Amino acid sequence: MGLIYDLSTKYKTISIVGMAKNAGKTTALNYLIEEAIDEGMTLGVTSTGRDGETQDLVTGTEKPRVYLEENMLVAVPSLLYDLADAGLEVLKKTNYSTAIGALLICRVRESGYVQVAGPVINAEQKLLCQEMLDLGSDLILIDGAIDRKTIASPETSDAIILSTGAVLSRKLNKVVEETAHIVNLYRTPELEEGVIRDAIESNNFDDKIMLVNGEGKVKKLDLATGLGAAKEINGAIDEDTKYIYIPGAFTNSVISDISLKNLKKVQFVLKDPTKIFINAMDWGVFRKKGFRVSVLKNIEIAAITVNPWAPAGYTFDNRFLLAEMQKAIPDIPIVDVRM
């Protein structure tokens, strides 16, 4: 049994997330589709944008095409329907709109290449996946064609496959370090159940920064973002403050001007790890100072794929890259889908 079978026993929806363009995300998608064909599985395939075209519409580089087998389900906008090489039967015209027409749920009747697209709104993507499951899919694969932060959100799928590779850096150790950092962030511990979590979840309807004491009493700041607001947040922290909920992006500027005393005293709470935009070096510095953070929902990483090739023309030894990645992240399945 292959990777796709193992994944299907644990999850119903999986997002494929690229750490950068040309990290091998679509190659990973095609690898899993081929495994599903061998296993006789009925896949559902959708995207958070558009994928399957022969050329990247942003960079102009050639892209792998998406080949689907008979009986698989796929999301296709109406304007791309006639461009499919595969024979498609329209099962449903949905109310989910895209920039290139209303979204159709189709069943592949004749195998071939398809340009895949889907909703860009997480809530609509989740609803679409459920519809495809109800129509008989064993597993849904979501291709993250917009950006890794959006598609990695735990609101979208049960787990992610993280695609990484040489495109991140000419230095192999840097590729491994950056990948391990993202894995570490996505595993940020969840805030435990109890009065503090209940207080945050019941009061975060307006996306304001909240200061919470040990009994769950909430004080809201008139701030929708913490970006550049470190001094104001620091000034609002009093002797009772134990937690600070930040609803939006979490960057250096959110905590750079918070005193060391307050930094050690409070625990920051975020919606999920996709809100964190701090590099590995700075993250390590903050943690050594006593900085603590938790999330309402973290991200399950089902597997990691590595791509030793970069569009700039340089490559890594694929076996060495795989070995170094497995050494740094030993408890997650890691595969080179080109091997």
Q: Quick one: pLDDT at residue 59?
A: 46
Q: Quick one: pLDDT at residue 225?
A: 87
Task: Enumerate the H helices of the chain as residue ranges.
Answer: 3-8, 25-39, 122-134, 148-151, 172-186, 195-203, 230-236, 252-255, 260-265, 280-288, 318-328
**In terms of domains, do 36 and 98 share one?**
yes
What whole-number distance in Å separates Cα of residue 276 and Cα of residue 251? 6
Phi first, then psi: give them for residue 27, nearest 5 degrees: -60, -40
Question: Which tokens hold the place of 70?
Answer: 């008979």
pLDDT at 170 over 90: yes
What whole-number distance in Å separates Cα of residue 156 and Cα of residue 15? 8
Tens digits of per-residue pLDDT, 272-311?
A: 999 999 999 999 999 999 999 999 999 999 999 999 999 9
Tens digits of per-residue pLDDT, 214-258?
A: 999 999 999 988 888 999 999 999 999 999 999 999 999 999 899
Question: Which tokens hold the place of 327?
Answer: 């050494």
Distances (CA, A) of 209 to 57, 267, 278: 38, 13, 19
**In terms of domains, do 288 and 308 share one?**
no
Q: Quick one: pLDDT at residue 132?
A: 97
**In terms of domains, do 79 and 209 share one?**
no
Residue 166 burial by CB count (10 A; 0-12/13-18/19+): exposed, middle or buried? buried
**210 contacts 233 by C-beta, under 8 angstroms:** no
**In terms of domains, do 163 and 265 share one?**
no
**In terms of domains, do 87 and 28 share one?**
yes
Question: Which tokens hold the place of 124?
Answer: 């609509």
Query: How many folded domains does the chain comprise?
Result: 2
pLDDT at 338 over 50: yes
**In terms of domains, do 15 and 141 share one?**
yes
Tell me the pLDDT band of 152, cut-offs 50, 70 and 90: confident
**17 contacts 150 by C-beta, under 8 angstroms:** no
| Strand pairing class (87-98; 101-110) | antiparallel
- pTM score: 0.89
Q: Quick one: pLDDT at residue 81?
A: 92
**In terms of domains, do 8 and 150 share one?**
yes
Tens digits of per-residue pLDDT, 31-79?
A: 999 999 999 999 999 988 655 444 454 444 445 689 999 999 999 999 9
Q: Which residue carries 């104001």 as its tokens?
A: 232
Contacts 24+ apart (CB under 8 A), 191-195: 191/269, 191/294, 191/295, 191/296
**In terms of domains, do 140 and 274 share one?**
no
**In terms of domains, do 221 and 259 share one?**
yes
Domain enclosing residue 268, as ranges: 195-295
> Residues near 121 by Cβ (< 8 Å), separated by ≥ 6?
none
**In terms of domains, do 323 and 213 share one?**
no
For the domain that residue 79 is a member of, what is the CATH number?
3.40.50
Q: Quick one: pLDDT at residue 167?
A: 94
**What is the Cα 103 distance to its own chain's centre?**
22
**In terms of domains, do 60 and 167 share one?**
yes
